[in-house]
Structures are given as C-alpha cells and as structure tokens.
Structure 1
Amino acid sequence: MINGEEKPLRILLVDCYDSYTFNIHDLIQRASSKCSITTVHWDTARPDLWDSLTCFDAIFVGPGPGNPSEYASVFEKIWNSDVPTLGICLGFQSLALHYGCSVDKMPTLPWHGRISSILSTNDSIYRNLPSVKGMRYHSLYVDSIRTNALRVLAKSTEDQIVMAIEAIEKPHYGILYHPESIGSSDAVSIVRNFFNVVEKFRTDNSTSSTETGFDVLEIQPSPFIKNPKTPSMRISSQEIPWTDPLTVVEYLNNADKPICFLDSAKKPGKFSIIGFFEGPLSYFIRYKKWINTTYIVNCQNNLEETYNGDFWEIVAKFMEEHKAFPIESALPFHGGIIGAIGYECSDYSSRSIAEASSFTYDTKKNQRNYVDAELAFVDRSIVFDLEEEKAYVQTLYPSDDSLQIWWEDLLFDLQKFSKNKLKHHGHGSTIKKPTEQDYTDRVRICQQRLLNGDSYEMCLTDTTFAYTDPNFSDYDLYLSARSHNPSSFAGFLRFPHLTLLCCSPERFMKYKDSTCHFSPIKGTLKKGSQMTYEEARSKLLNSKDTAELNMIIDLIRNDLHQLAKKDSVEVPQLYQVEEHPNVYSLLSHIYGQVDESITAWDVLAKCFPPGSMTGAPKLRTVRMLEEIEPYGRGIYSGTLGYWDVTGSSEFNVIIRSAFKYNEDSLWRIGAGGAVTVLSTPLGEYEEMLLKANSILPALCLIAPDREKY
C-alpha cells in the first residue's frame, strides 16, 4: 500500500509488429484507470526482461503476422511463467501451441475484417457475457483442444471455431478474435474480468508490483519537439478583390515560375491555397532517403544547407524556428509548409525511390537524383474562400521587422491578365503499363501470403509510365485532369525536382486545435447512367469492401492511439458512401484528440504512410509489397498538403494522380487496390484500371477495352 492506496497494476504489453497493438493499449486503459503499461517489441527488448516477468502483475501478448512458432523463443518464457497473461490472436495461437495443440490454416477462407457471433461459457473472463460480437483477423486456427490442460471458453456460431481458451493450472487466457477492434463488443468487460483474476492472483500470492527499470524499452512515441519555443514570426492577412485561383495559377504558369497550388476543385472543399516563393523567408526542402539527407535551400539566394538524419525531425525543428503568433482568423493557412511526401519516407519502407526505380525511359539513368519528398516553406500566399468568393493575402515576417507589402504589383498584373481557355493538345502515349497476366499473378501471390497469415490485407499497386510532348504545358495537363476528375483534395506542384498533377478524393489527415480527423477510402464503384446513389450504397456495403474498410479503420485507430488522449478516439459513422464525378467510394471518419504538446507533424509522421495504401499489419505488409511490386511508388500513395505556421494542417492521400521527376521526361501513374482473401484477381485488375484511367486521359489516349489495354 502507498498513501493508503493500492499500487497500480504493472502491465507488460508485448507488440509483435502488428498494426492494432495500441488499440489494445487503449482498451487496457479504458478497463482500468489504475494501471501502468510498458509496451515493448517482442524481439528488441533486453533479454533480461523475459527472465524478470514477475516484476509485472499482468501480461498482454498482442496479435501479429506469421506463425506463432516464429515467436517461440520469447513466448515460451511467458507461458512458463505464472504471471496472469491474456494472448490475443497470435497470443491465443501461441498458448494453444504451447500445450501441444495443432495450429493450422483455416479450412475455409480466413475471416479478415469480418464480424462473428461468439457464444461463451458465461464464466471466467466471459462472466456475465454469454454472447458477444468479435472482429476476426486470423488465417490460422486451432481445430480442437485435445488436452486437459486447456478449457474452451468461447466458439463462433458461424463455423464453430474455438475463439477463446484458458489454461487449467495457470492464469493464462487466449482470445482468437480481436476484442480491441471497432467491430467487437464487450471488450472492456472482458478485460475487467481478466483484471479480477489478476487482482486475486496478486492477493493470493502476496505479490505487489515493483519498479522494473524496463520503462526505457517503451515504444510509445514522443513528440519531436520536447521544449517548444515562443513563436518568432507574425502574420499579416488582408482581403483583396476576388480573383479566380485558376487565373492566378495561369498567370504564374505564363511567367514560368514554380507553382504551389492546393486546389479544392469539388465540394466539400472550401478553400484553395497558392504559395509564392519571392519572399525573403521562402525555402525549398527536399529529401533523398538513399543518402538520408535533407536539403534546405533559400529561394532568394539559393544558399543550401544539408542535414543528415531523420527527415521528419529535421522538418519539425525547421518549423519550430518558423512558428508564428496566431491571429483571429477562419482561414486554414497563413504561411508555412506545402508539399508532397513520398510513400517511401518512413521506416516501414526498406528502400528509397532512387533505389527502387528499376525502369527508366531516359538513358542517362539519373535515378539517384530522384527526391523522396519535396516541400516548400512559403512566407507569402493567397487563400481563396470558394464559397464566399473572397480572397486573402498572407505575409509572414519576423517579429522585430516591419511588414513588406508585396501583393500590389501582383494585383496590378492580374488586372491586365486574361485567362486563356483550356488548350486541346494532341495526346501522349503510354510506354509501359501493367498487363493483365502480370497483375493478376501478383494478386495471387498476395492472396497466398494472406492465407499463410502474414497479412490481413495487402494494398497492391502498379505503375503506368507515360510520355508527353515536352512542349505541352504541365499546367494544361493538370487542367485537363481536373476537368475530367474534379476532387476535393486536388493540387498542382511544379517544384525544382518534382511536378505533380493530383486529383485525389481522399483526405489522409486534418489537424486543428489538437483535433485529428482521418477519412480513409476503401471500395470504389464506377458510375453509370443506371447507377443511383442508393444502388451504389447497397453494392458497396458488401462483405469484401466493408472488410477492407474495417481493417483500415482499426489500423488508423491504432496509429492515432499512439499519441491520442485516453478515450478520445472515436468513429461516429462507420460507413459513408461518397459520390465523385466518375465513381462512388466507401469511406469512414476517425477522430481523436491529442495534447497541445503534440503537433500535426508528430501525428502525420506516426501515421505515415496512409494505411489505406498499405494494408495491415503495416511493417510486414509493406516489406512484402516491396518484393511483389515491380517499381517504387515514389510520391504516389504518399501525401500532399500543408502545415501552417500556427499549427493547423491538412494532408491528402496521393491517388488519382500523375507525377514526374524533373530529371527525366516520364509521367508516372500509380494505381491499385486492397487485396483480401475475398478478392478475385480479375476484379482487382479491373479496379486498378478504373483508378488509373481516372487520370490517364489527361496525358494520353487509353484503350477502350481491357484486352487492348
């Protein structure tokens, strides 16, 4: 006893590189306000941890990919101990394996992202819970319990698969489904029943938790900036006469200037943003992962500074030096970072785009110059309120300087400038594209990995390479893509090393006032003259598409739980069907609150790359996809957006897009889909074509039928 109060429960949570571990962390916290959790990777913790398990009151063994035999060196020490333990999915399988049961592939297709009805014995950790709902993510199962050392606690009603077990002689339990999932019920009650066992065990054995010294192994992330500074910059914002943003961009295009345009080309998008590079505090920031180097270049004098080390931390420190005092404003952006971050810019990816670009049309073979990310810090900008038809100029300046007026000359030039009509060019041509045979073969490889238990969902993609006449204006190409496929999260970048035409309908993350909002899309249906919204909704709410979305919702919840406040992550509407010019999409909305010390960049870094473009579990799935996909993804399936100097942020998922590195003349169009055990290879190929063809007509003619494509 301490100060008359019972010591908190010391909990060890073992992470097996799954993408749902921090959902379990949140579940534990919701089940008990008096617990202290240490979360460790199963293979990186100090060896003496596994010989000191009695320091803990309870252990949770999380889910993970692969076969439980892969983890035996650690798990056997857990099951040989007397510490109360609850194993989930992989942990369940490991407990069964420990007692001699056979762990095999499912006799039918695995249940990945699908909810099952569970009947229990109504006792033990299921006390007062005769039936529950359980989200299943398993490819492996235990056919039967043929030992008196284990007792079955629950089975599924649909296929009579054992869903929960307990050891007879030790306080060890296993649950095959995922109680922490958004689709499971009564999870808090189950964990509280387990904690009743833990408390009784602690009392009966006269044990109490002690300081372990293992907190240094904690894998829960911390913010990049530990001691935030006072802002050093001020914002000036002033309304100017309304001008259509496309007119301003075309003016910049005619002047052959770098362009930084975030375009709300379709509702519900409300604001568009244009950044300018003529200011004294404007910079380009580019990152090359293959040499782990970030370059920060002053746009005025071209002075370049190089930094080795973590790209995310370097950018966070740069922005810490360029924060501004907030002003009373309803605008989303007042200056700051705008740009694109490539898919490979995370530790999940083992390579850079330079190392993964095995195909090049350019014989100079200068892939090493490809950038993995390119950003701009803009100190001058215009924000357009498209609903109110109002425009505002923004200027950043140091706190001890006076404001520099810069927009008067721009407005004068715009008054004389007349916007041209969209130019109709001849078309370019595709020079390398996915074939049906190659793509469907890769789908089958993915499905075999899913059946083996290595992943629940693999977001397979491929790249089409296209060439256009270099005399064509890249901005006109963007306008053509925009007219064909207007989107809420569109944008056009012409940076020193990268050009991007983006028509994305998908938000990745929005951050404002410590509130995070994610909107993953899973499920796409082509529009047709006979396809009403209600019919599209009924078709998209099928078991395959909802399973895909369930897995990504749980993945995003997990990523957000790494930094979010307790009890703050919620999914108010599980499924929503959204209409776009050419397709209907199935999506969801996930919200969470973080402490003021957590920045938008912290959240973005910990949740990147977008889970809707990887699958789950992230780490093993990304690494397997690298082996299967023929090319690196680059900017495709990364993110485009802004991080404002006052802290707010919004980033999309770069899909329905074309981009090129300015070192060569190739446009790259990535497309793909989430492969599950319910997928058909041909269906996945056709979905990939549907998505690629949403952007290809802007660049080149496309074949009218699948065979010719």
Structure 2
Amino acid sequence: MDDLRDLTGPSAGARIEVRRLDPVPDLGALAAAADGDLVWLDSALPDGAPEAARPRARWSVLTWTDGPFAARFRHQDRQASVEVAAPAAGWFGSSSSDDRPAFTVLADLLARTPQLPEPIAGCGFALGWVGFLGYELGRESGGPDRTADGHADADLRFVDRAVVVDHTGDAWALTLVADAEPAASAQNRAWLETVTGSPSPADVADAATGLPAGVSSAVGRTSRADHERAVDACRAEIREGNAFQVCLTTSFSVPGGGREARVGPRTDPHLSEYLRMRASDPVPFGAYLRLGPLRVASRSPERFLRIAADRTVLAEPIKGTRRRLADAAADAAVRDELAVSAKDRAENVMIVDLLRNDLLRTAIPGSVHVERLCAVETYASVHQMVSTIGAVLPSGTSPADVVRAAFPPGSMTGAPKISAMAIADRLEGAPRGVYSGTIGYFSASGAVDLSVVIRTLVTVVDAPGGGVGPVEVRSRTLGAGGAVTWSSVAADEADEVVTKTRSVLGAVGAVATW
C-alpha cells in the first residue's frame, strides 16, 4: 500500500488513484504481457546525449485501452466515430457517428473530459486520450483533400489505466475511479493491485536480441531516378516563387512481420521488432501502438508540440541530418560540418518561422519566442539540428485548436505550408497516413505532448473474425523524406532518404532499395 493516494478533481468525484511501484517495472515486459490494444510512449537517450535533450526523455508511459471507463475517438473516410463504455457515458455521451471535422469533434471530447490534477510532479500525464493523428487530417487546415489508405486518419483512446516511469528512478501505476461508478472503480482498484507485480524482463529477453536470418530489401514506392526528378520539380516550384522549401517524402515496402496467433502475451512479432529497434536506437519520442488493425513502431527523436497545464507551449522542430560514422574523429567532423552548414541552417530557420506563425494563430500576442536556434544534437545513428520555439496560450483555448492551427508538423510540410503541401502531394501521388502525423497524449490535466511521426514502421493487419485465428499482414511501410530547397542536390536528397531509414530497417534485417 506504499504511496497510495487519491487526487480529487472537480468532475463529479472522478479522481486518479496512484501507487508507487518498487522495483521500477520493465515496460517492455508489461507490454508483452498485455492482451488487446495498448499505447506505449517510450523515452530514452543514447549515452553522451546533450543536457538540453534530457527533459524530453525523462518520462515513459504505458497505457491499456480496455479499462471500464474506456472511450475511443476514430476518424476514417471523413467520418468520426466515438465509442464509449457505459461508465464513461456521463462524460462523453453515448457511442455515435459524427460527420463534423475531426478536430471539432476532438475539441468537444476534450471539453467533456474530467479535469484532473497531475498526479506526479513534473509529469504532465494524468490519464486521458492517447494515440495518433495522421497526416491527412491536414486537409482540415488547408492541406490536400486526401484520406489515409486502408486505415483511420486518427485513433485516440481515453485510457483509465497506465504505468508511468520516471527515468531518474521512480515509477507509478495510475488508475481512474469515480464515485458515481462503484463497480467500474472496483475493477480499476483490483487492476492497481495486480500491476504492482511486474513481469520478469526474462519473459521478453529474446525479443530484443537477434535479427531475422539474412538481409531483405525494403523496396521504394518510386525509383531513385523518379525521386531525384521529383526533387528537381520541387526546385522548379521554388524558382517560380511557389515555395521556399518542400518536404518531399516517399515510402518503402518492408517485408516480413510474421503472424500473430492472437493478440496477447508473447504473440505480437511487431512488438518484438520494436524491442530490437529501441535496443539499438534510444530516442526521446519512441512509441509502440497496437490499435485495432494498426501496429505502429516509432523511433522518433522529434517533438511536435508540448502544451503544459499552465498553458505554456513548446515546439522543437528538427531540420538537418547527418549519418553517424564509426570513426570518432570523422564523426566529430561530420557533426561540426552540420553545425555550420548554410543549407541546413536555412532549412531549419524556415521551419522555425513557419512554426512561429502557426503558434501565433492561438497564442497570446507577443508571447511567441525562439528559445534555441539550430542546436546540433547527437543520437545513436544520426546528428540532427534542433530549434525550440515557445509561446503562451490565452485562458480557455482548447488544445485541439492549438494542434489544428499547427497541423501537420511544419518540419514535414515545408514553407509556406499550404503551397508546399500541395506541391508535395502532387509529386508524391499517395497519402502518407500515420507517417508525418503525430503520436502522443491529450492529458486530463490539460497538458499535451505530441511527437512527429518519423522513423516509423506502420503495419496494417487483417484481424480475424471474432478475434480467433491468425492475424495476417496486409501492408508494412516506412516513410522517409527530406526538405528540398533551391540549393538542394537531387542525388544528396536521395542519399538522405536512405540514411533516415537505417535506424528502423536495421532492426528488422532490411535495407532500403530504390
């Protein structure tokens, strides 16, 4: 019963019960033991990472989506659906369909979410909505009129059970209870008792070691020659004054993925792949999502937006990437070259200006400011150039409105945003889906933390009828791209695309081929 507390919020007796966990559990083991859908927001940093990066990687959160107060917001083919378990109907209403814009429905759901204080000092997560918003939701902010291919544009779950790990050495289990729902509250209190017994890391020790036999090819959606021609087409648009920068992307079809006998303990080969990815490439915004037919394994180093409960906002775009080298002196030289690269600094500054403009749409006038410009950070496989923009929101602003005004992430569009998105869409000729969108949480405290979906393997499966039988892989894709400016060289841009695939494909025994 160590550190068992009630934290009362203003919403009709709804509150979070918290239990400190000792020892700190292995979240990979807990995820492997979980039945059903889950969202794991997984933070880490490589040895020697800069101090400025450490706050981004302090917290990891593992959530289960099947608690008694569960709800689901899903948007597909321009139609929102909201599924609500009976105990949560008093907050979110009955299950329904809604043809309003996705961000409008999300704003309503956030307004109805019980407002709860943050249970752990320094951590913004107080249960709430977790999942992803896909790139094609950018059509609601003036982007191309597309929808994702074969899966939802957005899938967020209201979760009432989570384990939070502070990587400075502590961990807690959180669960939601409400006076008006004694039976559901009793279920969550019972879960709180069982989660304190962490599965042994040995349960998944073999998942993070070893690679598939041989090396397979992840084949590009387009040829290298076609991608280089698209780079030159972007440069032509820039020459004509239609854009300053275009984020041009493609995708690679990744073989393998295995079969799941069912979704449950030790039967998810995509989670095993993710465990290998995280072992070789620590990043502050890793994530593994198992949501219906989707398996999303993300090794993103980039934050999109963080909104604190005190209404301060932070954006941290990345533009400028170099591959790490094995030789220490050569690696240091590559890092130094990136730090002074006029091209990369120009790319980064363009996106900083774009994000300043995006944040000005909802922030208090005069509050938007640049905290850090073109700093170079080092990760396991790459050096990257990062900037930080801050702002303050007026009271009463919905987090959904802030995200919509800045969506999709500017580092994945180019500038000016609407024109750059239209150019990229015409040249790419296909939706991006989860890739280039965001993953993270909208907390019941009002806090938000969202990553940019890059370095991410997206698998779509055909779930068996009735949940029985094998789960077959329908598609597995890895998106990659880069910013094209007037000074871009097509061959160099194609090389950068391949560089950005290595951290993910290396963990699944594949290499990118054009």
Give the TM-score of the pair, scaled to structure 2: 0.84
**For the Cα contact (< 8 Å) 1:237–1:334, is it kept in 2?**
no
Amino acid at match of 1:439: H
**For the Cα contact (< 8 Å) 1:273–1:383, is it kept in 2?**
yes
Aligned residues: 458
> 1: distance between equivalents of 2:255 and 2:28?
25
Deviation at 1:547, TM superposition (A): 0.7
Find the counterpart in structure 2 of residue 666 from structure 1. 475
**For the Cα contact (< 8 Å) 1:485–1:581, is it kept in 2?**
yes
**For the Cα contact (< 8 Å) 2:82–2:95, is it kept in 1?**
yes
**For the Cα contact (< 8 Å) 2:302–2:316, is it kept in 1?**
yes
**RMSD in angstroms over aligned alpha carbons?**
2.4
Task: Tell me the alpha carbon deviations over residues 656-701 of structure 1, each in whole angstroms, 9 at most, x when there is no partner.
Answer: 1110223452111110100000100001000111112221122342
Amino acid at match of 1:453: G
Find the counterpart in structure 1 of residue 319 from structure 2. 522
Q: Residues 340, 456 of structure 1: CA spacing in aligned structure 2 closer, same or farther, 3 A cutoff?
A: same
Q: Residues 410, 459 of structure 1: CA spacing in aligned structure 2 closer, same or farther, 3 A cutoff?
A: same
Q: Which has the larger radius of gyration?
A: 1
Deviation at 1:486, TM superposition (A): 1.7
Q: Residues 696, 413 of structure 1: CA spacing in aligned structure 2 closer, same or farther, 3 A cutoff?
A: closer
> 2: distance between equivalents of 1:327 and 1:448?
50
Amino acid at match of 1:615: G
Deviation at 1:613, TM superposition (A): 0.5
Find the counterpart in structure 2 of residue 373 from structure 1. 154
Task: Tell me the alpha carbon deviations over residues 42-84 of structure 1, each in whole angstroms, 9 at most, x when there is no partner.
Answer: xxxxxxxxxxxxxxxxxxxxxxxxxxxxxxxxxxxxxxxxxxx
Which of 16, 27, 34 is residue 245 of structure 1 equivalent to? 27
Find the counterpart in structure 1 of residue 280 from structure 2. 484
Q: Residues 696, 327 of structure 1: CA spacing in aligned structure 2 closer, same or farther, 3 A cutoff?
A: closer
List alignment gaps of at least 5 residues for structure 1: 1-228, 358-366
Find the counterpart in structure 2 of residue 411 from structure 1. 196
Give the TM-score of the pair, scaled to structure 1: 0.61
Find the counterpart in structure 2 of residue 392 from structure 1. 172
Does residue 636 of the first structure (1) align with residue 418 of the second (2)? Answer: no
**For the Cα contact (< 8 Å) 1:429–1:468, is it kept in 2?**
no
> 2: distance between equivalents of 1:655 and 1:417?
30
**For the Cα contact (< 8 Å) 2:376–2:384, is it kept in 1?**
yes
Secondary structure (helix, strand or coil) at the match of 1:437 reads helix
Amino acid at match of 1:612: S
> 2: distance between equivalents of 1:416 and 1:469?
23
List alignment gaps of at least 5 residues for structure 2: 1-8, 46-52, 89-93, 260-267, 463-472
Which of 486, 497, 504 is residue 300 of structure 2 equivalent to? 504
Secondary structure (helix, strand or coil) at the match of 1:588 reads strand
- Structure 1 residues 681-696: aligned runs within 5 Å: 681-696=490-505
> 1: distance between equivalents of 2:229 and 2:507?
29
Which of 332, 338, 344 is residue 545 of structure 1 equivalent to? 344
Find the counterpart in structure 1 of residue 81 from structure 2. 295
Find the counterpart in structure 2 of residue 258 from structure 1. 37
Amino acid at match of 2:256: T
Which of 419, 439, 443 is residue 620 of structure 1 equivalent to? 419
Find the counterpart in structure 1 of residue 105 from structure 2. 314
- Structure 1 residues 187-206: aligned runs within 5 Å: none
Find the counterpart in structure 2 of residue 114 from structure 1. none
Deviation at 1:535, TM superposition (A): 5.1
Amino acid at match of 1:522: K
**For the Cα contact (< 8 Å) 1:461–1:673, is it kept in 2?**
yes
The structure that is helix-richer by fraction is: 2
Amino acid at match of 2:330: M
> 2: distance between equivalents of 1:576 and 1:409?
44
**For the Cα contact (< 8 Å) 2:480–2:500, is it kept in 1?**
yes
Find the counterpart in structure 2 of residue 583 from structure 1. 382
> 2: distance between equivalents of 1:235 and 1:478?
30
Task: Tell me the alpha carbon deviations over residues 117-147 of structure 1, each in whole angstroms, 9 at most, x when there is no partner.
Answer: xxxxxxxxxxxxxxxxxxxxxxxxxxxxxxx
**For the Cα contact (< 8 Å) 2:28–2:201, is it kept in 1?**
no
Secondary structure (helix, strand or coil) at the match of 2:249 reads strand
**For the Cα contact (< 8 Å) 2:338–2:344, is it kept in 1?**
no
> 2: distance between equivalents of 1:301 and 1:466?
41
Q: Residues 353, 699 of structure 1: CA spacing in aligned structure 2 closer, same or farther, 3 A cutoff?
A: farther
**For the Cα contact (< 8 Å) 2:124–2:445, is it kept in 1?**
no
**For the Cα contact (< 8 Å) 1:312–1:605, is it kept in 2?**
yes
- Structure 1 residues 587-626: aligned runs within 5 Å: 587-626=386-425
- Structure 1 residues 140-539: aligned runs within 5 Å: 231-232=11-12, 233-241=14-22, 242-252=24-34, 256-266=35-45, 268=54, 269-288=57-76, 290=77, 292-298=78-84, 304-327=95-118, 329-330=120-121, 331-346=123-138, 347=140, 348-354=142-148, 357=149, 367=150, 370-388=151-169, 390-398=170-178, 400-402=180-182, 403-404=185-186, 405=189, 406-412=191-197, 414=199, 418-421=203-206, 422-424=208-210, 425-426=212-213, 429-471=217-259, 473-512=269-308, 513-528=310-325, 529=327, 530-533=329-332, 536-539=335-338
